[in-house]
Amino acid sequence: MAKTEKEKMVTGELFNVYDPELVAERGAARDQVEALNALGESDPEESTRRVKALFGATGDAVEVHATFRCDYGYNISVGEDFFANYDCTILDVAPVTIGKHCLLGPKVQIYSVNHPADPKLRRNGAMGIGKPVTLGDDVWVGGGAIICPGVSLGSNVIVAGGAVVTKSFGDNVVVGGNPARVIKNLK
């Protein structure tokens, strides 16, 4: 039996971005995100409830400031004590797993989606491929940083503001620059 486009998406295979099931799921997630963003900071308890309904898994303490953007929501898992500041985007075609006690500065972008190198497959943005992103515990991502598809960061990692993280790093480091590199060891 042939795989659905959603099955291809979640297993990291080339998939049709415009598949009707995926379009409908993105639309439903956008409705949830717009409702979350409309709250602003007026009702923190309702905001937390909406984040927990949107994300695939969360800890008890989770705070996401407006405006937030994601593709599906259900591919995002965050641990206890998660905070995302203003204007964050998490493109969650593949799983985005974030550990406990993590902070995202304003305008942080996490991408788990890529497009094929072949221009014929890339035309009209119709084909995508997912690569999971994983952040360990106690990760702080500074404002304006970008985490690219397939990146894993260990625990106790600080990503400097404006960094573009194109490869994975282990525990206890500060990374920064474009492309990001180790600036300092923390232990």
The domains of the chain are located at: 5-171
User: For 81, how many CA atoms within 13 A lie in the half-sphere containing its CB?
Assistant: 8
Under 8 Å between Cβ of 180 and 158: no
pTM across the whole model = 0.95
Residues designated as active site: 115
Q: Provide the β-strand partners of residue 181.
A: 176
Question: Mean of the per-residue pLDDT values for the chain?
Answer: 96
pLDDT at 125 over 80: no
- What pLDDT does 173 receive? 98
Q: How large a percentage of the chain has pLDDT more than 90?
A: 89
pLDDT digits (tens, 9 = 90+) for 153-174: 999 999 999 999 999 999 999 9
CATH number of 5-171: 2.160.10.10
Position 121 confidence tier, pLDDT thresholds 50, 70, 90: confident
pLDDT at 124 over 80: no
Q: Where does residue 40 rank: exposed (0-12), middle (13-18), buried (19+ CB within 10 A)?
A: exposed
Tens of pLDDT, residues 6-43: 999 989 999 999 999 999 999 999 999 999 999 988 99
DSSP-derived pairing of the beta strands 157-159 and 152-153: unpaired
**Segment 103-115, tens digit of pLDDT:** 999 999 999 999 9
